[in-house]
Amino acid sequence: MRVLYFAWLRERVGLAEEEVDLPPSVTSVGELIAWLRGRGDNYAAAFARPEVVRAAVNQVHAKHDRPIAPGDEIALFPPVTGG
């Protein structure tokens, strides 16, 4: 599964995007964020406050309870500030 990071999440993780192999127990955006937190200090710092993290699944805004599946493009980012 492809995961993209933007803004200060990208800076803290240290990557703009990566491919991840998820365990079968990870089936939603929220579970993905919890799983990422355990991958190292950079991830722990990036996802210290999961409630401020926004997500898109296949380029559409998605909530944390949104199911995810192999092949999805998942993006994680702070609240947007366009315009």
- Residue 7 binds to other proteins (criterion: CB under 8 A): yes
Check if the beta carbon of residue 57 is closer than 8 Å to that of residue 73: yes
Burial track 51-76 (b if 16+ CB lie within 10 A, e otherwise): eebbbbbeeeebebebebeeebebbb
How near is the Cβ of 16 to other proteins at its closest, in Å? 10
- Closest to other proteins by CB, 37 vs 54, is 54
- Residue 49 binds to other proteins (criterion: CB under 8 A): no
- Residue 67 binds to other proteins (criterion: CB under 8 A): no
Say how far residue 9 (Cα) sits from the centre of its chain: 9
How near is the Cβ of 63 to other proteins at its closest, in Å? 14
Quick one: which of 2, 4, 47, 65 contacts other proteins (CB under 8 A)? 4
At 41, list the tokens: 């200090």
